Amino acid sequence: MRLSLPLVCFFWAIKLVAVFPQTQFNIDSTQQQEIPEVTVVSKKDRLFSGVPGSVFLLNAAQLTRIAPLTGNEVFKKIPGVHVVDEEGLGLRANIGIRGLDPDRSSSVLILEDGIPVQLNPYGEPELYYTPSIDRMSAIEILKGSGQIMFGPRTIGGVINYITADPPQQPETNVTLRGGSGGFLGTQLGYGNTYGNIGIRLQYDHKRADKIGVTGIETHDFNAKLRLILGAKSSLMLKMQWYDEWTNATYLGLNQSMYDQKDYYPNMAPDDQLNVRRYALSTTHKYLIHKRLKLITTGYTYTTDRNWRRQTFSVNPSAPLLTGVVWGDSSIANGAVYMQSQSLHRNRSFRVAGVESHLVWTYNIQKMANQLDVGVRFLREGAMEQELLGSSPQAIAGVLVRNEKRPGSAMSGYVQNKFGLTDRLAVTAGIRLEDYHFERGVYLYKTVSNVYRDTIIAASSHIRALIPGLGLVFQGGKNVVFFLGVHKGIAPPAIKNSVSATGEVFALDTQDSWNYELGTRFNYQKGMAGEFTLFYLDFGKQVIAISESSGGTGSGFSNAGATRHAGLETSFKVDFGTLFEWKYLDYLQSSATFSRATYASDRFVGPKKTNVRENLLPYAPLWMVTQTMGFTLPAHVEIQLSGNYVAPQFTDELNTQLPSADGRSGLIEAYFAADAVVRWGIPAWKSIFTASVKNLTDARYIVSRRPQGIKMGIPRTLIFGITSVF
């Protein structure tokens, strides 16, 4: 019964947006799939010869080899991408690209089949819901100038999750998994094509009593319907329902607990996060002419995020103490004192968008050219309430905060790829982003801590032009060189632009100039790689002081100018193809050197220390991943991988010594290894899998925020079987 009203509202919402359009995420729109939602260029072009920038793709076979428990394991293998674990299960990915803050992935544009998945793409881009890696057929990451076709965030990069299309023949797949911490996973899928109608249905369920410190239960149902309307027209409908209950908490270890090796206590057992999401989209593709096509997509989705968290204090004299103490009370700020109340942070987000994308391929003196033109309209809104519960287990409470944050956006782009010679192509484009937003506060807390009903509303407006220019030179059939420059922008969050008292800060968008120079090669289908030099020049970064980033929960911090410079490399050698080696199949390596620093004078802290030339928080200098694959007799495959992350600072002062509360101080370098064994039984159409995460059971810190030390997950064993009929 608890699903009936949301489902009714959900289906009524699609009646309002059923004709809305949106651009496909298309790394190289000259390479088209049957389905108009996304394009996977690697199927036809292993060099990505039409892409004027860094690009990375993991296909279905690679994802199967990894056998990931979380999407974080996948992103750690991609150069330039820094992933910070939170609860150890990848339910809330924290992804940073090229030295940008990974907090809630807010500097990266996250898409699924070309459609945004963040709470509110413009005003609140935090990633509290992360698409499950289990139902993906591929992952695309684009970091070059070509990303100006996608917005509103063009600073760090674009990540596109790709789901499987309806198959041409009947297909049933069943996956069962179980392992450490009471983990159980079930995946059921069916697909087929009946004449001009194709369907794919998939249901995923996960539960765990405790992996690290977290217990979970998730339900994820997805459906795709493909309609071939004629020789020139096709339609794709997609629907999702997702429900999650997690024992998630912001509270982490203090330093004394870490020193005493008390790594995985359940400090707040009554903390509970519920995320519920409904999504619906429709994409229509119409071939106007053999060289001219129109793609339109409409989408709507809702995300409800309700989070109950027990209150606590570092003050032993605080009121409402329960007597539960974590840490060393003899040290100032060295202990956490739990309180007998809870704060419920309940938020609801609504998004509806429409986009049209016109693609025209044409020739000028026998040279191939392509023009892409797109326009999008988007409406989003956030509703937030906070309730103070009288106990840690309270299911309701007294309202202490109430506000709404609506916004509307219009964007458009024009991009043209000019074929200058058989080997040289230049891509130039420009994007416009125009965003109006408002913050309305309806319950106000006075300076004397008295709550009063009120109406405080203020609005603001942001407009930005985003140019981009890229060049691709085909050095031969096995190598390409690329050079690109584009402007990156990211609108500041609404709560950072308008205060709770109605003060408009008139913040500009964060902006940068991003430069790339690199090469890709692919020799004999057994040796491939990419090397990219990058430089990001920020005129200003606006850093939100959110609770998730370790702040006070409101306001903003102007980080001033920053510079990000580095080198990304990825390299794969297929020994089986090149040398016909019997057992060692392949070696894959990716490495990133990234130096992200404050580039202007800025004085912070009680001593007014100048942080110029200091490293940005959570921006390690080095990240390296190595993977080796072995093929043994009897259809047995083994994959070993290791991930190294260099030391990181957690504050702008680059503080080395840890604080007593565990929230600041150096994060030491760490190395974690994984292993996967796959045994195929063709006669049964089944594959048995055994994977070990954190093979050596290493103990390492992944984060000191938001409220203490978070550890990497302990050694975790997962066993599974997948059958396809």
Alpha-carbon span 58 to 42, nearest angstrom: 9
Range in 114-118, 221-225, 494-498 with the lowest mean pLDDT: 494-498
Range in 104-118, 261-275, 389-403, 497-511 with the lowest mean pLDDT: 497-511
Q: What is the DSSP string of 547-605?
A: TTTTS-SS-EEEEEEEEEEEEEEEEEEEHHHHH--SSEEEEEEEEEEEEEEE-S--EET
* Arithmetic mean of pLDDT, 654-667: 96
Rounded to whole angstroms, what are the CA distances from 199 to 168, 226, 299, 307?
A: 9, 6, 19, 35
Q: What is the DSSP string of 160-228?
A: EEEEPPPPSS-EEEEEEEEEGGGEEEEEEEEEEEETTEEEEEEEEEEEEEEETTEEEEEEEEEEEEEEE
* Arithmetic mean of pLDDT, 688-714: 95
183, 538 contact by CB (below 8 A): no
What is the biggest distance separating any 2 CA atoms in the chain, rounded to whole angstroms?
81
* Arithmetic mean of pLDDT, 255-269: 96
Tell me which CATH code domain 17-724 carries. Answer: 2.40.170.20
Range in 245-254, 258-267, 497-506 with the lowest mean pLDDT: 497-506
The residue type found at 421 is: T
Query: pLDDT at residue 140 above 80?
Result: yes
* Arithmetic mean of pLDDT, 411-428: 94
**In the structure, what pLDDT confidence band is assigned to residue 67 with cuts at 50, 70 and 90?**
confident
pLDDT of residue 3: 41
Angle at 140 between CA 152 and CA 428, to 5 degrees: 55
pLDDT of residue 44: 52
Q: Which residue from 643, 516, 641, 627 is spatially nearest to 568, judged by alpha carbons?
A: 516
Angle at 179 between CA 131 and CA 112, to 5 degrees: 10
pLDDT of residue 17: 32
Range in 100-104, 382-386, 504-508 with the lowest mean pLDDT: 504-508
pLDDT of residue 42: 39
For the chain, domain boundaries: 17-724
Query: pLDDT at residue 115 above 60?
Result: yes
Query: pLDDT at residue 36 above 60?
Result: no
657, 649 contact by CB (below 8 A): no
* Arithmetic mean of pLDDT, 694-706: 95
- Tokens 């072995």 belong to 630
pLDDT of residue 26: 34
pLDDT of residue 27: 32
**In the structure, what pLDDT confidence band is assigned to residue 411 with cuts at 50, 70 and 90?**
very high
pLDDT of residue 430: 96
> Is the backbone peptide bond immediately before 152 cis, with ω within 30 degrees of 0?
yes
Interval 562-618: pLDDT, tens: 999 999 999 999 988 888 788 889 999 999 999 999 999 888 888 999 999 999 999
Query: pLDDT at residue 227 above 60?
Result: yes
pLDDT of residue 18: 32
* Arithmetic mean of pLDDT, 7-15: 36
pLDDT of residue 371: 96
pLDDT of residue 158: 92
Alpha-carbon span 606 to 609, nearest angstrom: 8
pLDDT of residue 88: 77
Query: pLDDT at residue 30 above 70?
Result: no
pLDDT of residue 6: 37
Interval 541-570: pLDDT, tens: 665 454 555 554 444 456 678 999 999 999
Interval 529-541: pLDDT, tens: 999 999 999 987 6
* Arithmetic mean of pLDDT, 381-396: 96
Alpha-carbon span 644 to 228, nearest angstrom: 48
Interval 179-193: pLDDT, tens: 999 999 999 999 999
pLDDT averaged over the chain? 88
151, 108 contact by CB (below 8 A): no
Query: pLDDT at residue 4 above 50?
Result: no
Interval 455-509: pLDDT, tens: 888 888 889 999 999 999 998 889 999 999 999 988 877 776 666 666 666 666 7
Look up the pTM and report it: 0.90
pLDDT of residue 577: 80
pLDDT of residue 8: 37
Query: pLDDT at residue 128 above 90?
Result: yes
* Arithmetic mean of pLDDT, 413-440: 94
Residues 6+ apart with CB under 8 A from 2: none
Query: pLDDT at residue 23 above 60?
Result: no
Alpha-carbon span 95 to 130, nearest angstrom: 11
